[in-house]
């Protein structure tokens, strides 16, 4: 009988501890999230950096006329790239930022602005 | 600047997916030889650029052969290509 009581009381105590820690961790978790956001921003992936690296990829692409490259450029309309060239540009972006872009998302990227936008949303981009 | 998403036919989508898969497969090759594979992939696709968009039978045939060849060239024993 003594044995039966102990686990029960232990269980109760654990539940009480869990309840108090849960109450305590709520604000703590919040500040943790803030810290995380801050460390991510300091990783060096700011917008200007992303923009520069995307433009550099296009400069390295010898089908593209360097003078036409801008942040507003559309791969097809402005840079004269067709759908296959666009695939290569997106693949180069994948390698540059060490991310894997799913086909569905890759098909949506048709301009420099869209590429920059997409990378800025990816937390795992380097 | 911002454009409406391009509407592509399923077949066109398949060709683009194959092109992408080819480049992904090329990543697994020795780094020094990757440009050879890239040039090879481009050449093999551009070869058929005059195929008409409505020529479904030809495109489907080329897709099938392309997929089969991708499988063959994906073998790790193939480390380089010459054009």
Determine whether the interchain pair A72/B17 forms a contact, defined as Cβ–Cβ distance below 8 Å.
no
Same-domain check for residues A82 and A115: yes
Helical (H) or strand (E) element with A56: helix A47-59
Same-domain check for residues A26 and A52: no
Q: What is the pLDDT of residue A12?
A: 47
Please give, rounded to a whole number of angstroms, the shortest distance from the CA of A51 to a CA of chain B: 15
Report pLDDT digits (tens) over A80-124. 999 999 999 999 999 999 999 999 999 999 999 999 999 999 988
- CATH code for position A94: 1.10.1200.10
Same-domain check for residues A72 and A112: yes
Distances (CA, A) of B1 to A63, A73, A79, A109, A120: 20, 6, 12, 12, 18
Determine whether the interchain pair B19/A114 forms a contact, defined as Cβ–Cβ distance below 8 Å.
no
**Is residue A95 included in any domain, yes or no?**
yes
Determine whether the interchain pair A74/B23 forms a contact, defined as Cβ–Cβ distance below 8 Å.
no
Q: What is the pLDDT of residue A63?
A: 86
Same-domain check for residues A73 and A18: no
Mean pLDDT of A30-55: 66
Token pair belonging to B45:
């696709």
Same-domain check for residues A31 and A81: no
**Lowest-confidence range among A19-33, A40-54, A63-77?**
A19-33
Complex prediction ipTM:
0.86
**Is residue A53 included in any domain, yes or no?**
yes
Q: How confident is the model at residue A6 (pLDDT cuts 50, 70, 90)?
A: low
Question: Which of B23, B31, B43, B47 to mutate against chain A (most A CBs within 10 Å)?
Answer: B23
**Is residue A60 included in any domain, yes or no?**
yes
Classify each residue of A53-73 as buried b or exposed e, where b means 16 or more C-beta atoms within 10 Å of its C-beta: bbbebbeebeebeeeebeeeb
Is the pTM for the entire model greater than 0.80?
A: no
Query: Could you tell me how far CA A121 lies from the centroid of its own chain?
Result: 5
Q: Does residue A70 register a pLDDT over 60?
A: yes
Low-confidence ranges of chain B (pLDDT < 70): 1-7
**Is residue A126 included in any domain, yes or no?**
no
Determine whether the interchain pair A110/B19 forms a contact, defined as Cβ–Cβ distance below 8 Å.
no
Domain that holds residue A15: 1-42
Determine whether the interchain pair B19/A74 forms a contact, defined as Cβ–Cβ distance below 8 Å.
no
**Is residue A88 included in any domain, yes or no?**
yes
**Is residue A110 included in any domain, yes or no?**
yes
Contact residues, chain A, for B27 at CB < 8 Å: 95
Q: Searching chain A, which residue's CA lies closest to the CA of residue B24?
A: A91
User: Which of B6, B19, B24 faces A84 most closely, judged by CB atoms?
Assistant: B19
Q: What is the pLDDT of residue B8?
A: 76
User: Which of B1, B13, B16 faces A74 most closely, judged by CB atoms?
Assistant: B1
Same-domain check for residues A38 and A55: no
Same-domain check for residues A68 and A115: yes
User: Who has greater pLDDT, A22 or A66?
Assistant: A66
Q: Indicate the number of domains in chain A.
A: 2
Same-domain check for residues A86 and A61: yes
> How far is A90 from A88, CA to CA, in rounded Å?
5
């Amino acid at each position: 009988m003594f044995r039966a009581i102990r686990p029960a009381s232990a269980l109760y105590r654990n539940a009480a501890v869990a309840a108090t820690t849960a109450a305590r961790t709520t604000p703590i978790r919040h500040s943790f999230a803030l810290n995380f956001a801050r460390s991510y921003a300091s990783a060096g992936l700011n917008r200007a950096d992303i923009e520069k690296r995307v433009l550099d990829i296009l400069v390295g692409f010898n089908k593209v006329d360097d003078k036409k490259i801008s942040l507003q450029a559309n791969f097809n309309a402005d840079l004269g790239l067709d759908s296959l060239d666009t695939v290569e540009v997106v693949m180069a972006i994948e390698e540059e930022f060490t991310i894997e872009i799913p086909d569905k998302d890759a098909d949506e990227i048709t301009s420099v602005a869209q590429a920059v936008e997409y990378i800025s949303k990816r937390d795992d981009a380097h | 600047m911002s454009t409406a998403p391009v509407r592509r036919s399923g077949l066109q989508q398949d060709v683009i997916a194959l092109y992408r898969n080819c480049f992904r497969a090329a990543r697994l090759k020795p780094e020094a030889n990757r440009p050879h594979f890239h040039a090879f992939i481009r050449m093999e696709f551009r070869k058929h650029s005059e195929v008409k968009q409505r020529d479904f039978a030809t495109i489907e045939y080329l897709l099938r052969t392309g997929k089969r060849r991708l499988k063959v060239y994906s073998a790790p024993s193939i480390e380089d290509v010459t054009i």
